[in-house]
Homo-oligomer: A and B are copies of this chain.
């Protein structure tokens, strides 16, 4: 029986060697038992090792393992946004995180949250990416610019598997992407309004720094065009996700010579703000003005009136992203990149 002098009566955590000593086997055997391989062990040894583990309350040291295996069972969740303070607060991104987190946890992976403000210095992130701390990354992209590409470049250079959500990365990185069809959703929403007979349709546009705001506007624009309805700049307001501007926007819209009979808001929160303000002017929704949202957040269904909106399968997107990054990790980053586009769906409720 070999003995370890090092850990004689140490107050610190027991090591694998301690377990080996107590069980009367070598450290290799303990490792084989713990990891169920790569070599077999006798039933008797297994039993003795397990008992020793229990007795010492032994737990493997993740750093030592990570050092040896170059695997940490950790995925970095990168949120690249103009204001990552909203990382958790925005219902919207929160739902994606929920699906992602839950699924990764199921598979025994840990999650390191990495908020990045667009434009911030990437030194720290670069260090993190190259520190062998992460097996893979899931990046929520919100826009396309050289700043965002610089981030992706860092991930690429660190040779870490990466799955992008919401916006597709440039092809040359070879990253997988999971997006959803914003444009089709917006088109469908506006087209529905047109089919209901609306001709004067307003749009509260999102923050144009975000690619999704542009696409939602594009969908609005295309639907009008395809229906032969002239585009009127006066009906398009906002250019922000911030709902506090709605207080000013609504009276402006109402004061138009030819005011809108319907409003397509680029988010549910905006739609709710619009309806709240319309109430001030005793304008009834949907009788006087119809309102459509986008996102289908939890409150959309509970609001009065329940909101007609575009449903994005955010939780499913998060879950799929988790599956995908795990596949990439499994394949040691040699998997052919995948590009999934989730469909969105018009949910008819009572605001139209």
- Where the two chains meet, the residues of A that have a C-beta atom closer than 8 Å to any C-beta of B are 13, 57, 59-67, 72, 74, 85-89, 91, 94-95, 97-98, 101-102, 105, 108, 110-115, 124, 126-128, 130-133, 243-244, 269, 272-273, 276-277, 279-280, 298-299, 302-304
Could you list some 22 contacts between A and B, CB below 8 A? Answer: A59-B130, A59-B131, A60-B127, A61-B132, A63-B72, A63-B131, A63-B132, A63-B133, A66-B66, A85-B98, A87-B98, A88-B95, A89-B98, A94-B94, A105-B115, A110-B114, A110-B133, A111-B113, A269-B299, A273-B302, A276-B304, A277-B304
| Given A67-B61, A88-B97, A89-B98, A302 contacting B244 (CB threshold 8 A) | yes
Chain B: minimal CB distance from A31 (Å): 15
CA distance A67 to B91 in the complex (A): 38
In the complex, chain B residues whose CB is within 8 Å of the CB of A132: 13, 61-63
CA distance A13 to B128 in the complex (A): 13
Nearest B-chain residue to A279, judged by Cβ: B304
Evaluate contact between B302 and A276: CB separation under 8 angstroms: yes
Give the 4 A-B residue pairs with the shortest CB-CB distance, closest first. Answer: A63-B66, A59-B130, A88-B94, A276-B304
CA distance A89 to B277 in the complex (A): 25
Chain B: minimal CB distance from A238 (Å): 15
CA distance A87 to B108 in the complex (A): 18
In the complex, chain B residues whose CB is within 8 Å of the CB of A66: 62-63, 66
Chain B: minimal CB distance from A282 (Å): 12
In the complex, chain B residues whose CB is within 8 Å of the CB of A61: 67, 131-132
Evaluate contact between A67 and B63: CB separation under 8 angstroms: yes
Known: A89-B91, A89-B98. 14 other contacts (CB 8 A): A13-B132, A59-B131, A60-B131, A61-B132, A62-B128, A62-B131, A62-B133, A63-B63, A89-B94, A101-B113, A101-B115, A102-B115, A110-B128, A112-B113
In the complex, chain B residues whose CB is within 8 Å of the CB of A105: 115
Chain B: minimal CB distance from A310 (Å): 19
Nearest B-chain residue to A97, judged by Cβ: B88
Chain B: minimal CB distance from A192 (Å): 24
In the complex, chain B residues whose CB is within 8 Å of the CB of A304: 276-277, 279-280
CA distance A13 to B70 in the complex (A): 11
Pick from A63, A74, A128 the residue with the most CB of B within 10 Å.
A63
CA distance A262 to B157 in the complex (A): 61
| Given A63-B67, A72-B63, A98-B88, A13 contacting B130 (CB threshold 8 A) | yes
